[in-house]
Amino acid sequence: MSIFDGIVKSSGKFFGAAKKCLISVLVLSTFATSASAGEFLCYGKLGLLGVTETGDVIVKIVNGSETIAEAHYICNVVSQGGYVTTPTACKASLDILIAARNADKVVYIGYSELAPVFSCKTIPAWSKQLSARSPRY
């Protein structure tokens, strides 16, 4: 008799524990899914990259002549000012964006859905997108 046979025959204790474990996994995965359901990703090349006098980093994401996301602010290199990204992380993000622009690479920036913004196309021009996540390429 194997160890598994002994577990299976032990008055259902194994299956009771397995059922509880499965329910826990399902509940946790439901919460994980709903937490990320309100996020979207914008990607394309940088049609505009800059830093304002006050330290706000501005980007415009394009695909050839098509605008993917209008020019908007994603973080600040001087103060957090409501952004999710800290100034230190913003400086690192700016370095990534400069490298991507110099290498002519596609960048990926994640955002949380916050009304009225639910997609890249609905980001208002020159708006501060406080939920922007660190970019990558």
**Segments forming the whole domain that contains residue 9:** 3-36
Least confident of 14-18, 52-56, 100-104, 115-119: 14-18
Partners of residue 67 on adjacent β-strands: 62
Asked if residue 113 belongs to a domain, the reply is yes
Residue predicted with more confidence, 76 or 31: 76
Do 118 and 55 lie in a common domain? Answer: yes
The answer to whether residues 107 and 136 touch, using CB atoms and an 8 Å cutoff, is: yes
Read off the pLDDT of residues 44-65 as tens digits, 9 standing for 90 and up: 999 999 999 999 999 999 999 9
* pTM of the shown model: 0.72
Asked if residue 135 belongs to a domain, the reply is no
User: Does 33 score more than 70 pLDDT?
Assistant: no
Do 45 and 98 lie in a common domain? Answer: yes
pLDDT of residue 94: 98
